[in-house]
Amino acid sequence: MTTANELFLALIRANPKLSRYNPLRRILFFDDFNEGMNGWCELLGNHDGNLDNVREAVADLRPPQLSNCTFFDIGTHGAMDGNYSLKLATRAKANHMSQAIKRITQVKRGLVQFETFFTYKAEQTFVRRRGNGAKEWDGNFDPSETDFGDFTFSNDVCEGESGIRYHCALRYVNTDDKGNLVQKWMYKTSVQPTTKMVRAGLAKDLGDYHVIDPSDWAEIPGGYQPLCYNEVPTKINWHYLRWTFDTGKRRNVELQVNNLVMDLRNIPVPVYEHEYHGIRNLLNFCVDVRTHTNVRNFLYLDSVLVSVEE
């Protein structure tokens, strides 16, 4: 006899758009960017109608784009499926970050799984910038790879009016601020400064959106993972990512990127010490990309699937 679970899996596997994913039992949303933005939008800091009151750190995170991945040398690359992907682009300014957000609320606390196929690139440049001693293009290695800084997948969870609020944030650090390849997955060790905290003098914006101090990051055990930049800035290769967190236990569970599965259950998640009004059962998903140099960095998502246990 076919069980309900077997039937569910058979239906997923029979759908070419879904069969590349591994959803939990209930699909909350499947965002195919051939069909538009699907609710992903620019994050902007809180204000009271007066835009002068937006903190500089969250004033210019750039609008997301629908990209067909066109490059100057080969023309249109296209997405993994169809024509379009969601694209985030930084400015050509060191430490600039672009972030997009999708906002929903929780029906029930428990397992949440975010899956996507992503790729990343630094913008094509035509002059050398690193100076003497920097590794040159040798027909295989391209210095463009060291122009790419980092990207982060994060959430924003609040359990209720007087409940607990926290962000999980998982960052792929491609290079350090000197352009050396790091290629490690990291997790943050402090809360994200909010407008409420900055206005109350509880935190300052010190150059990293996600944390109190830019050094508040730690390596995920076993998180060294060179990805497929593919040599030059005009070739893209899609990577599978699956991130599970548990809003019942207020923790990350697992991060899978291609063949690497990282156990996150023992990684601490910083929780705010104060309350937030008006965000009962908040569940937001965020993606961002940050450049370490004066070269634009891009992050592309072919599609996104978010599912929950029940």
Partner 1 sequence: MRKSFTAVIERNAVLSGAFATEAYEAAWAGEARWFIRILALEGEGAALRVQPEISPDGLFWCEEGTKVPPMTAEGLYSFPLRDFGHWLRLSGEITGTENGGNASVRVIIYLALKS
Rounded to 5 degrees, what angle do the CA atoms 42, 229, 211 make? 45
In the list 59, 206, 261, 271, the residue contacting partner 1 (rule: CB under 8 A) is: 59
Single out the segment in contact with partner 1 by CB under 8 A; choices: 86-94, 188-196, 206-214, 257-265. Answer: 86-94
Tell me if 68 sits within 8 A of 84, measured CB to CB.
yes
In the list 83, 215, 237, 258, the residue contacting partner 1 (rule: CB under 8 A) is: 83
Q: How far is the CB of 42 from partner 1 (least distance, A)?
A: 7
Per-state percent for the chain, helix, strand, coil, to nearest 5: 10, 40, 55
In the list 12, 17, 18, 65, the residue contacting partner 1 (rule: CB under 8 A) is: 65
Q: How far is the CB of 139 from partner 1 (least distance, A)?
A: 23
3-state SS, residue 146: helix
Q: Is 219 in the site for partner 1 (CB under 8 A)?
A: no
Strands (E), 189-250: 217-224, 239-246
Q: Is 304 exposed, middle or buried (0-12, 13-18, 19+ CB in 10 A)?
A: buried
Q: Is 62 in the site for partner 1 (CB under 8 A)?
A: yes
Q: Is 51 in the site for partner 1 (CB under 8 A)?
A: yes
Q: Which of residues 252-281 bind partner 1 (CB under 8 A)?
A: none
Q: How far is the CB of 36 from partner 1 (least distance, A)?
A: 5
For partner 1, the closer CB: 45 or 223: 45
For partner 1, the closer CB: 60 or 205: 60
Q: Is 39 in the site for partner 1 (CB under 8 A)?
A: no
The site string for partner 1 over 103-142 (x = CB under 8 A, - otherwise) reads --------------------xx------------------
Q: Is 87 in the site for partner 1 (CB under 8 A)?
A: yes
* DSSP H/E element including 12: helix 4-13
Q: What type of residue is 280?
A: R
For residue 245, give both structure tokens: 């967190």
Q: Is 67 in the site for partner 1 (CB under 8 A)?
A: yes
Tell me if 70 sits within 8 A of 106, measured CB to CB.
no
Sign of the CA dihedral with 23 first, then 25, 31, and 34 last: positive
The residues pairing with 198 across neighbouring beta strands, listed in sequence order, are: none
DSSP type of residue 56: G
Q: Is 94 in the site for partner 1 (CB under 8 A)?
A: no
Rounded to 5 degrees, what angle do the CA atoms 206, 211, 214 make? 50
Single out the segment in contact with partner 1 by CB under 8 A; choices: 12-20, 48-56, 172-180, 253-261. Answer: 48-56
Site residue total, partner 1 (CB under 8 A): 27
